[in-house]
Amino acid sequence: MLPPQVVHTHKPHFMALHCQEFGGKNYEASMSHVDKFVKELLSSDAMKEYNRARVYLDENYRSQEHFTALGSFYFLHESLKNIYQFDFKAKKYKKVTGKEIYSDTLESTPMLEKEKFPQDYFPECKWSRKGFVRTRWCVSDCAFDLVNIHLFHDASNLVAWETSPSVYAGIRHKALGYVLDRIIDQRFEKVSYFVFGDFNFRLDSKSVVETLCTKATMQTVRAADTNEVVKLIFRESDNDRKVMLQLEKKLFDYFNQEVFRDDNGTALLEFDKELSVFKDRLYELDISFPPSYPYSEDCSQGRQYMNTRCPAWCDRVLMSPSAKELILRSESEEKVVTYDHIGPNVCMGDHKPVFLAFRVAPGAGKAHAHVHKCCVVQ
């Protein structure tokens, strides 16, 4: 979530917060606590200057056909005038006033578009909650879409290691392409868009393992009954054949985690390849924070990665080429664009939230366009 100090530092006029797996992994038991949390958030001291809000929570877990567990929060500062939200059914903008919470079933809400990806996109995951929610806004004649997205994960480290790119990267490519085609189709006027959430982008596993274990020998462990590969062990050729990496379906145990933290993992960015497929359709600022997943859920281990997956930049804020042009880059020394993660030393679950703070000129191109500050948070 978004700590008060981040709000205080950037003082955004328009703040968008996108959550995935809302209610947690045990959503049947914990969803009952969600409403209380949301009401406390809206009434908190940190948010007292935000006099308008829209909250959309997909809580209806009993509808497996539609349930995405996505939560989208939008907060409007009292100084922000003339902001409108698009009604996708009436095909017109409506002025935003007051605070409203929409939960349970979102299909009947005309102020957004929501879709869960078809089951055949990821057939091995019976109850996948992956999908997207889209809203459209207009601030002083500047219109833009905000898309909350959750793409498919890697089900097995061993399967991901087999090919480059992995079969899972192909599934994510298909799903993200579907979303982008959907938000620029002919039904509505085309506007700039920001897509942010858990893309589940992973490093190219085969290339990473080859690089991390360049001088290692590989041992293959097979199941006695099926002869299926269940474990790969990479050992140093010398140095008493020290184990460097153990790889199982849900184990990625590398002996030196510092490689993922040193210089924010910059050396590994060359293996972050999944976005390159969309280089003409999606833009991202340079990444200067460490991989956002999978962090330990032990409250005393805020900086530690779990040894379940290879650390990766799963959580991102991406934008269309026209949205890139909306972001103002000041020529003064003031840093007006920040792309970073939140809580580097604090346990915040297995993902670290990522945020993009920037200034945008509504009615871009107008000589005297008023500048507003925005903050979008994954």
Whether omega for the bond prior to residue 344 falls within 30 degrees of 0, making it cis, is no
Rg of the chain taking only CA atoms, in angstroms: 22
Q: What is the pLDDT of residue 369?
A: 47
Instruction: Answer whether 0.85 is exceeded by the pTM.
Output: yes
Question: Residue 3: what pLDDT?
Answer: 63
Rounded Cα gap, residues 196 and 315, in angstroms: 8
pLDDT the model gives residue 122:
80
pLDDT surpassing 60 at residue 316: yes
Question: Residue 378: which pLDDT band, with cuts at 50, 70 and 90?
Answer: low
- Biggest distance spanned by C-alpha atoms of the chain: 73
Taking alpha carbons only, the member of 134, 126, 119, 154 closest to residue 70 is: 134
Q: Please give the residue that has the higher pLDDT: either 163 or 328.
A: 163
Number of neighbouring beta carbons within 10 Å of residue 138: 20
Among 49-63, 267-281, 362-376, name the one with the lowest average pLDDT. Answer: 362-376
Query: 329 by DSSP, 3-state: which?
Result: coil
pLDDT value, residue 98: 97
Give per-residue burial for 246-271: e unless 16+ CB within 10 Å, then b. Answer: bbbeebbebeeeebbeeebbeebeeb
pLDDT at 26: 81
pLDDT category, 368, cuts 50, 70, 90?
very low
Residue 254, classed as helix, strand or coil, is strand
For residue 101, give the H/E element and its range.
strand 99-102
* 305, containing H or E segment: none
351 in Cβ contact with 314 (< 8 Å): yes
**Mean per-residue pLDDT, 214-232:** 95
Q: Is 328:205 a contact under the CB 8 Å cutoff?
A: no
Counts for the chain of helices (H) and strands (E), in that order: 8, 18
What is the rounded distance in angstroms from the CA atom of residue 73 to the CA atom of residue 211? 40
Q: How far apart are CA 234 and CA 255, in angstroms?
A: 11
In whole angstroms, give the CA distance from residue 267 to residue 316: 18
227-273, pLDDT tens digit by residue?
999 999 999 988 788 999 999 999 999 999 999 999 999 999 999 99
Label residue 365 by pLDDT band (50, 70, 90).
very low
Domains identified in the chain and CATH numbers: 2-203+259-357 (3.60.10.10)
The mean per-residue pLDDT over the stretch 46-55 comes to: 95
With the CA atoms of 331, 335, 340 and 343 taken in that order, what torsion angle do they form, in degrees rounded to the nearest 10?
A: 180
Burial degree of 224 (CB within 10 A; 0-12, 13-18, 19+): exposed
| Best CA proximity match to 154, nearest among 220, 118, 198 | 198
Residue 4 pLDDT: 67
* CA dist., res. 89 & res. 84, Å (int): 15
The overall average pLDDT reported for the chain is 90
Residue 1 has pLDDT above 70, yes or no: no
Residue 199 above 80 pLDDT?
Answer: yes
